[in-house]
């Protein structure tokens, strides 16, 4: 394991010059720069993260907090983060923030305290007051993605606008009985998203002069399986069934499509469905949806964070773009004739 001394010797300069040449901090003559570069690559020298971290206080490592990994949205954001960080020479250290309070406590009181990371990205995590305090007490740059976090600049789509758009798409096609599949109050606690989505849905209806029919609003946990289950309930009774459904996630929307098929309903003649996400499966099901781009959200979060680390800008919360993608799951309702 070559050390900085070896490089200094080989390059015929002092260790300080090596440090400067390799880190790009401080002035180094072109000649020295070249000599160092050459010696370093000859020796296969790479700066030790521990030594550098100890001396400088900078680790070139970012902590990422996620509630679950095995889920399209989180995995996509994580990929974006990881890709962007790597490009900048940063490592990504992953902390899964489950429901287990012991584990959570350990993360905030040990893992994040041991100075392994320069900053933290929190993806859609819901924190207790205490946890939030602990996070801020780190005194490190923080960026949120997804759910808003008090005091933390956060990137997320405008959930209310998203669902208003989806609902309006259906209303504009002529649907009047528009169902809603959202998050349960339980998942509400984690995401804060469903309630905003619900509000957007209700707002769109109100603007169209339509009353909310509680019978048409059901809750699931954002998965395809639950989407299927609740949609079957919603669609089972031909007398009360909606002609269209707005689902707060593509996975639930696809569950609803499968339920409709199993009930013998044809899309879009008998039922229109709109989702949210533009999940990788949306196309396969011809699902009309509102696209959000989690991968890109991750990359953006990294960009914001690095700015903060470099002291360039006071990161600000930010609404991300969303876009209606119309496919074959929506059309005008069948005329009752």
Site residues for DNA per CB under 7 A:
1, 3-5, 12-20, 22-23, 25-29, 31-32, 45, 47-48, 51-52, 54-58
SS3 3: coil
CA atoms within 13 A on the CB side of 231: 34
Site track for a second copy across 47-86, x = CB under 8 A: xxxxx-xx----x-x------xxxxx--xx-xx--xx--x
Near a second copy by CB under 8 A, which window of 104-112, 121-129, 198-206, 311-319? Answer: 104-112
Sheet holding 217-220, edge to edge: 217-220, 178-183, 244-247, 272-277, 288-291, 323-325
Provide the Cα torsion 36, 42, 44, 50; round to 10°.
-20
In the complex, the smallest distance separating the C-beta of residue 7 from DNA, rounded to whole angstroms, is 7
Binds 32, which of DNA, a second copy, none (CB < 5 to 8 A, cut-off by type)?
DNA
Q: DSSP letter at 149? A: B
Out of 9, 116, 203, 318, the residue judged to bind a second copy by CB under 8 A:
116
Binds 93, which of a second copy, DNA, none (CB < 5 to 8 A, cut-off by type)?
a second copy
Cβ atoms of 36 and 28 within 8 Å: the answer is: yes
In the complex, the smallest distance separating the C-beta of residue 25 from DNA, rounded to whole angstroms, is 5
* Residue among 223, 224, 259, 253 nearest 241 (CA): 259
Near a second copy by CB under 8 A, which window of 109-117, 178-186, 190-198, 267-275? Answer: 109-117
Binds 303, which of a second copy, DNA, none (CB < 5 to 8 A, cut-off by type)?
none
Q: Which helix (H) or strand (E) holds 15?
A: helix 15-23
Binds 92, which of DNA, a second copy, none (CB < 5 to 8 A, cut-off by type)?
a second copy
In the complex, the smallest distance separating the C-beta of residue 46 from DNA, rounded to whole angstroms, is 7
User: What number of other Cβ atoms are within 10 A of residue 219's Cβ?
Assistant: 19
In the complex, the smallest distance separating the C-beta of residue 152 from DNA, rounded to whole angstroms, is 26
Quote the strand ranges of the chain, DSSP E.
61-66, 91-96, 119-123, 142-145, 154-157, 178-183, 217-220, 244-247, 272-277, 288-291, 318-320, 323-325
Binds 288, which of DNA, a second copy, none (CB < 5 to 8 A, cut-off by type)?
none
User: What number of other Cβ atoms are within 10 A of residue 1's Cβ?
Assistant: 8
Out of 7, 95, 192, 245, the residue judged to bind a second copy by CB under 8 A:
95
Q: How far apart are CA 266 and CA 286, in angstroms?
A: 13
Q: Please tell me whether residue 91 binds a second copy under the rule CB under 8 A.
A: yes
Q: Please tell me whether residue 23 binds a second copy under the rule CB under 8 A.
A: no
């Amino acid at each position: 394991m070559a050390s900085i001394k070896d490089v200094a010797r080989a390059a015929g300069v002092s260790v300080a010059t090596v440090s400067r040449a390799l880190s790009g901090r401080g002035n180094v003559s072109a000649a020295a720069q070249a000599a160092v570069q050459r010696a370093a690559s000859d020796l296969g020298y790479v700066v030790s993260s521990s030594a550098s971290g100890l001396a400088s206080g900078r680790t070139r490592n970012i902590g990422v907090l996620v509630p679950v990994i095995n889920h399209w949205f989180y995995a996509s954001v994580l990929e974006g983060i990881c890709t962007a960080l790597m490009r900048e020479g940063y490592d990504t250290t992953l902390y899964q923030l489950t429901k287990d309070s012991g584990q959570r406590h350990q993360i905030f009181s040990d893992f994040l305290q041991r100075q392994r990371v320069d900053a933290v990205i929190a993806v859609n995590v819901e924190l207790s007051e205490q946890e939030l305090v602990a996070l801020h007490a780190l005194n490190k740059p923080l960026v949120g993605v997804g759910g808003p976090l008090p005091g933390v600049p956060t990137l997320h789509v405008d959930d209310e606008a998203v669902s208003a758009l989806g609902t309006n798409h259906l209303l504009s096609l002529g649907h009047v009985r528009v169902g809603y599949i959202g998050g349960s109050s339980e998942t509400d606690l984690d995401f804060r998203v469903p309630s905003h989505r619900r509000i957007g849905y209700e707002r769109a209806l109100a603007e169209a002069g339509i009353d909310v029919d509680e019978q048409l609003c059901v809750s699931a946990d954002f998965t395809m399986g639950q989407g299927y289950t609740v949609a079957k309930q919603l669609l089972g009774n031909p007398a009360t069934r909606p002609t269209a459904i707005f689902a707060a996630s593509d996975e639930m929307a696809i569950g609803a499509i499968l339920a409709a098929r199993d009930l013998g309903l044809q899309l879009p003649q008998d039922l229109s469905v709109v989702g949210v996400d533009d999940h990788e499966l949306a196309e396969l099901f011809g699902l009309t949806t509102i696209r959000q781009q989690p991968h890109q959200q991750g990359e953006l979060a990294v960009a914001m964070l690095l700015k903060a680390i470099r002291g360039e800008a006071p990161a600000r919360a930010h609404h991300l773009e969303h876009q209606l993608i119309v496919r074959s799951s929506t059309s005008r309702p069948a005329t009752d004739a």
